[in-house]
Amino acid sequence: MLDQTGNPKAKAEITKNIEKSYSKIAAKIEKEQAKQADAIAKENKKVNQNTNLTLAQTEKNNH
């Protein structure tokens, strides 16, 4: 499409808009990945806490 554009000014604007769109998409992807990493970390923390409680209860029952 850009090759068909004869107007260099229009070509530059289109390129700029495409780059801007990619930047926005990249920012959204990074934000979503951070959100998912946060959720995974919270879930792992819950699992670790539950594991520790279970181990503590087992040790208490064994003594």
pLDDT score for 4: 78
* Tally of domains within the chain: 1
CA quadruple 14, 18, 23, 28: dihedral sign: positive
Residue-wise pLDDT for 33-57, tens only, equals 999 999 999 888 877 777 766 766 6
pLDDT score for 63: 61
HEC string for 1-63:
CHHHCCCHHHHHHHHHHHHHHHHHHHHHHHHHHHHHHHHHHHHHHHHHHHHHHHHHHHHHHHC
Domain span at 6: 2-62
pLDDT score for 3: 73
d(CA 59, CA 61): 5
- Cut 0.75: pTM above it: no
pLDDT score for 46: 78
Residue-wise pLDDT for 4-30, tens only, equals 778 899 999 999 999 999 999 999 999
